[in-house]
Chain A
Amino acid sequence: MLLLSLFLPALIGGCWVALAAAPLGAFVIWRKQAYFGDALSHSALLGVALGLLFHLSVNGMVMGVCVVLSIALMLLQRQRMISSDALLGVIAHFSLALGLLLASVTQQNVDLMSYLFGDILAVHWADLSWMISAVCLVLAILWVLWPHLLAMTLDVELAQVEGTPVFWMQLVLMVLTAITVALAMKVVGILLITALMVIPAASARYWAKTPEQMVIIAGVFGCLSIFMGLLFSITIDAPAGPAIVVAAGSIFFMATLSQAVSCRRSK
């Protein structure tokens, strides 16, 4: 009974987060922004540190820092002297280092590990309400703007000619990614956020014929990873975040393998 009360909220919260991570992970892959996801998640630690330092909501600060950072990146990318991957490298590690520095100054007994590697088993029924509402908000916005977001992803100029407000769509996508980063931090921890977004979507690519299929399959794989990871973590008493990512990775490798086999067969 104790196990179940530990397991169930974690499972429900984790699956909801995986549902938000699926479409945004797909966009990260389509737009080739895995490194952007990494930069955002590293900067999440800065948000944690600021939240603790000023006694503000940690989740709120994480989202705030991520949003500010994505806007800063968007503006910085307009100059062409330094490429965006170099910019991301600068910002990701600067904010990670600054976060670590600030966290050590807070003088509080901060369990950094729980932020770095996630703490999903500490999710209580009370946490679920805000997690689920945040996920619903992300999904609702995606639903409404889906045609525009797809058009922009396929071809920016064509989308612009056809009336998609490209700048605003990019901004929306960044803000939604920031919210998802804050959510995923709870599940797998700062260091593995991108994994939760990218791996299920990458596994889904093999079977998907349309973007919508890719997102749905990614969602299924994400939830499956959460379930398998939690089960594994509880059985052998291992940290849940890494277990979830290992599960997601295993699904990816199996998908790759089965794809390779079926390709060979069809030849």
Chain B
Amino acid sequence: MFETTETLLNLKQVSFQINQQSILSQIDLHLNAGEILTLVGPNGAGKSTLLKIILGLLKPSSGSIHVHPQVRFGYIPQKITLDPTFPITVRRYLQMARAPKALYKGVDYWLATLEIEYLASAALQSLSGGELQRVLLARALLRAPNLLVLDEPTQGLDMVGQQAFYQRLGQLREQLHCGILLVSHDLHLVMAATDRVICIHHHVCCSGCPEDVRQHPEFLQLLGAFPQPALAVYQHHHDHQHHLSGHVETVISGS
């Protein structure tokens, strides 16, 4: 287990280009043990790319990344491809996660903690969005991670589900004393759960504690005014946008 102040992750001036197009430029980011850091930003801002660089799936074009040598990632990708030709139950899927023996709590422990025992022998492909999200979380937790990386973990959950999820994250942080890095669109709910926010649009627009970021002009310009709690907000995401010519463009979710 890490000391609270120990730095798990430190990015300095990280840039990433693909085909001469700059996706990320000069990103600075650090994360301590026991801290929750949220990446927000519009679609296509490079959030998922940044996660992949941190996880070592992509190599940055320049800049330095320091990951604490003892970091064990628990990762929930934005979506997993579940092929119906691959027969697998929830239990068997969870058994695939490996962790050091001393820290391994076992499949049944996490099934019970996340209240999904009833799914143990269900086929992975048959789960609903919320159930799958819990199974993926269980899988990540089985690795006894000290750094959880979650790419839009609440997509497909309703408001109640999202709220419960962020509550759970807070508990897990206490219990595992792990760092948590997450990408999210659900700004208002995330704000309550996170210690720090970084708003990204190819570069770091602003960062700091939620209250500061919320009032930062660049944040407001990018993601709009933060809804007042008393207002009933019709929260929705468009799956298409209207081109100037009037023709409809599909928006591919994820960045």
The interface of chain A, by Cβ under 8 A from chain B, is 29-30, 32, 147, 150-151, 153-155, 157-158, 160-163, 205, 208-211, 213-214
Contacts and interface: CB of A to CB of B under 8 A. Distances in A.
A187 B184 CA distance: 55
Interface string B76-107: 01001101011111001100111000000000
Nearest to B136: A158
Main secondary structure, interface of A, reads helix
B77 A158 contact: yes
Interface in B37-94: 52, 55-57, 73, 75, 77, 80-81, 83, 85-89, 92-93
Contacts of B98: 147, 162-163
A208 B98 CA distance: 24
Nearest to B122: A209
B57 A160 contact: yes
Given A157-B77, A162-B143, A214 B57 contact: no
28 contacts: A29-B85, A147-B98, A150-B96, A154-B88, A155-B77, A157-B55, A157-B57, A157-B77, A158-B75, A158-B77, A158-B80, A160-B56, A161-B73, A161-B75, A162-B73, A162-B98, A162-B143, A163-B98, A205-B85, A209-B87, A209-B89, A209-B92, A209-B123, A210-B88, A210-B89, A211-B86, A211-B87, A211-B88
A161 to B, nearest CB: 5
Given A158-B77, A160-B56, A209-B121, 12 more contacts: A30-B86, A151-B96, A154-B96, A157-B55, A160-B57, A161-B55, A161-B57, A162-B73, A162-B97, A163-B98, A210-B89, A211-B87
Contacts of B87: 205, 208-211, 213-214
Contacts of A151: 96
Nearest to A210: B92
Interface in B101-139: 121, 123
Given A160-B57, A162-B143, A211-B92, A154 B75 contact: no
Given A161-B55, A161-B57, A153 B86 contact: yes
A151 B94 CA distance: 11
Interface size class of B (residues with CB under 8 A): 20 to 34
A161 B86 contact: no
A158 B94 CA distance: 13
A94 B163 CA distance: 58
A218 to B, nearest CB: 11
B56 A161 contact: yes
Contacts of A32: 83, 85
Contacts of B143: 162
Residue of B75, B93, B121 ringed by the most chain A CB atoms within 10 A: B75
Contacts of A155: 77, 80-81
Contacts of A210: 87-89, 92
Nearest to A166: B57
B182 to A, nearest CB: 15
A99 to B, nearest CB: 31
A211 B56 CA distance: 28
Residue of B55, B81, B96, B123 ringed by the most chain A CB atoms within 10 A: B96
